[in-house]
């Protein structure tokens, strides 16, 4: 009996030692995403997130975020300045918008269908590079989705909070601050969120900025 007990005790010690040495083996970061994202900044929508709460109540671990990168519709100045009634402006990839009337102001803003009450008007305004971007009447840009992906985030990420319209500079906060806000159903979308990646493709900065229409 003593021998059996000793064997069982030794087995328990082995299993305990094995459990103590157990570890997770993670894959390398995606080379594809690294090549696409490294060193760049994008407007993006937070489309999902997850985390494990630290058992000591000190924050979160194993954080992952899902993003959808979005871009504004851009047009050449030549195309916009040559628009005529009867043309169709394509929004996004394949959404046609009928041009029923055209108004241009002194700032070269082009408003379509401003005189047509039953059709939502569209504003096209020039950027510094000479291209035009599309927006609604309150200059809220139109976006289309480009790429969706999931990525890990850690405490090296800076949450740059610029949501106070009266602040002159943003306030740098932590990943935990961001997770608290997003879990409270604060909307992080393409209008108010920019994400920046470092040269290794890691998420470095998430900027949240004030927009009057959100």
pLDDT by 10s per residue, the chain, length 214: 555 555 555 555 545 555 557 777 877 778 888 899 999 999 999 999 998 877 776 667 789 999 999 998 899 999 999 999 999 999 887 789 999 999 999 999 999 998 887 778 899 999 999 999 988 766 678 888 999 999 999 999 999 999 888 889 999 999 999 999 998 988 999 999 999 999 999 999 999 998 876 5
Q: How far, in Å, CA of 95 to CA of 92, rounded?
A: 6
- Residue 19's pLDDT is 53
Q: How far, in Å, CA of 105 to CA of 136, rounded?
A: 16
- Element holding 153 (H helix, E strand): strand 143-153
Helix and strand totals (H; E) in the chain: 4, 14
Q: pTM for the complete prediction? A: 0.76
- Residue 18's pLDDT is 54
**Residue where the block lists tokens 């590079």:** 129
Q: How far, in Å, CA of 174 to CA of 155, rounded?
A: 7
Q: For residue 112, what are the contacts with CB-CB under 8 A and spacing of at least 6?
A: 83, 89, 97, 99, 100, 101, 102, 103, 121, 122, 123, 124
- Element holding 110 (H helix, E strand): strand 110-112
């Amino acid at each position: 009996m003593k021998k059996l007990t000793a064997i069982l005790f030794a087995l328990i010690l082995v299993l305990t030692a094995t459990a103590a040495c157990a570890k997770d083996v993670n894959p390398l970061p995606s080379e594809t995403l690294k090549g696409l994202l490294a060193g760049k900044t994008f407007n993006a929508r937070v489309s999902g997130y997850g985390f494990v709460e630290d058992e000591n109540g000190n924050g979160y671990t194993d954080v992952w975020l899902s993003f959808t990168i979005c871009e504004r519709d851009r047009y050449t100045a030549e195309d916009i300045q040559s628009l005529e009634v009867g043309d169709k402006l394509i929004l996004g990839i394949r959404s046609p918008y009928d041009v029923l009337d055209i108004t241009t102001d002194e700032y070269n803003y082009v408003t379509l269908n401003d005189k047509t009450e039953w059709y939502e008007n569209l504003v096209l305004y020039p950027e510094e590079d000479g291209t035009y971007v599309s927006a609604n009447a309150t200059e809220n840009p139109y976006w289309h989705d480009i790429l969706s992906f999931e990525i890990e985030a850690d405490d090296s990420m800076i949450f740059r909070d610029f949501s106070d319209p009266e602040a002159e500079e943003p306030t740098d906060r932590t990943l935990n601050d961001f997770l608290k806000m997003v879990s409270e159903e604060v909307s992080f979308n393409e209008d108010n969120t920019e994400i920046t990646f470092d040269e290794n493709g890691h998420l470095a900065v998430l900027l949240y900025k004030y927009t009057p229409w959100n």
